[in-house]
Amino acid sequence: MADVQIMTGNSAAAIAVKLSHVQVVAAYPITPSTSIPETLSQYIESGELKAEFIRVESEHSALTVCISASTVGARVFTATSSHGLLYMHEQLHWAAGSRLPIVLCCANRGVGAPWSIFNDQQDSIAQRDTGWIQIYCRNNQEIIDTVIQAYRIAEEVYIPVMVCYDGFVLSHTMMPVEIPDADMVSDFLPPYKPHTIVSPENPKNINPVIFPWRRLNAEGVLCDGYMEMRYKLQKALDDARDVIISTSRTYADVFGRDHGGMLWTYKTEDAEIILAGIGSVASEATVAADTLRDEGIRAGVVGIRVFRPFPKEEVKEVFKQANAILVFEKDISYGYEGALCADIKAAFYGTGIKAPVHNYIAGLGGRDVKAREIAEATRASLDEIASGHTEPKTIWLNCHTG
Q: Which residues bind other proteins (CB under 8 A)?
A: 97-100, 158, 195-196, 198, 203-211, 215-224, 229, 232, 236
CB 278 within 8 A of CB 121: yes
351-354 LR contacts (CB < 8 Å, sep 24+): 351/316, 351/320, 352/320, 353/316, 353/319, 353/320, 353/322
Nearer to other proteins, 55 or 204 (CB): 204
Nearer to other proteins, 189 or 223 (CB): 223
* Nearest distance, CB of residue 312 and other proteins, angstroms: 23
How many whole angstroms separate alpha carbon 82 and alpha carbon 29? 11
Pairing type for strands 357-361 and 273-278 reads unpaired
Nearer to other proteins, 97 or 365 (CB): 97
Q: Find the angle CA(200)-CA(203)-CA(206) to the nearest 5 degrees.
A: 135
Nearer to other proteins, 189 or 233 (CB): 233
* Nearest distance, CB of residue 362 and other proteins, angstroms: 39
Q: What are phi and psi of 205, to 5 degrees?
A: -90, 115
Nearer to other proteins, 91 or 139 (CB): 91
* Nearest distance, CB of residue 226 and other proteins, angstroms: 9
Reported in sequence order, the residue ranges of 43-128 that DSSP labels E, i.e. its strands, are 52-55, 76-80, 103-108
* Nearest distance, CB of residue 201 and other proteins, angstroms: 12
* Nearest distance, CB of residue 63 and other proteins, angstroms: 16
Pairing type for strands 175-179 and 3-7 reads antiparallel
* Nearest distance, CB of residue 381 and other proteins, angstroms: 45
Nearer to other proteins, 2 or 216 (CB): 216
Q: Residue 237 CB: number of other CB atoms within 10 A? A: 18
